Chain A
């Protein structure tokens, strides 16, 4: 799939695996999250088209930018978040063993691009000129300080196992059911816990804790700009679960065309379901509690597997 003619690139960006495809998968991932959460909480939950009509409503409304906001940055922030997620999608193998664009070190670039979502959230919060936004931004940044190193360390475990920073190598290594989650469960759990913070899943959703700071960084957003945030949020569900499936659950398992995509998407939904159960079973930590837990417990999990890998390579375990 290494064809870089303009038409193919555009199709990749906007159709598969870009905007159109990932929007549909993200829409259903987010809907599964909301519906399952509601059912587990003894509620009815939204119908399947709810994320779409929410978006349609937001995009048909007026944009209001507060006087106290930094106008340029206020507008740039959601676009930055969306763009970095779409770019990350180009680098993550979706079902196939190779991504649209693949080069050595693309795992590092994906980790940076995913970080951009959190950073632009903080950016939006500080630009919005609202105290809730400012506190949301500061919480987001402290949370990033807590989980980002751990996330990178956890994501490094599969890279160490494959002896490559190329995502397609990691996927190819796992063909035939050699899922890395089975070999490195601690690293897998550590990355999953960091994803909880990236997806704002409880107990790590303090940057937009509605009972404390309204909507945090998104408090002042309205209309299409809020719609872009909403879209970006839906895409993160897909992008992060796709990355997790590639790193730990064997991607498309090297199957032939329609099967690999189906397997991949089923695995993505399993990740979404796990995150939903995580959300439903927990209360929210305070920001200092979350910070210290990331840098102690979760970091320790990631380090255990890095150590296990090194010890294991000397002793010839794998």
Chain B
């Protein structure tokens, strides 16, 4: 009786281990940070909190400010703030080569190429840098390169002087 019980228990444990492994392996494409195999280099639709930002590790919760970076190999990284994309690229220069960056826009609510977008400097973006993408240009908006430069120089709402000059407080 004891032997049968031990055998049943062993069998159940092996099955449980296999289930955990299979569930994990089946899940591998979307583990928290990266979507792999996006060889068509298209935007990957995703739900709020489904992925974490590859730079700051926070949940990508507010999809209005979300961005995606797709490497040449088809690895798709998710970001909660366009500022995070700039900071991440600074640390991962190799990924920059032929990478595509898409961002959500606050006016048309669509994914567009970040290099075609215009950026407000005073938006309440998730990380508080202030940059948010728009499809249409408005006064005081900056283009991608300018936004990138400002982020790298720290000229965003984190800087009290910039904040005062832009928001008056």
A binds B: no
Binding site for A on B (CB under 8 A): none
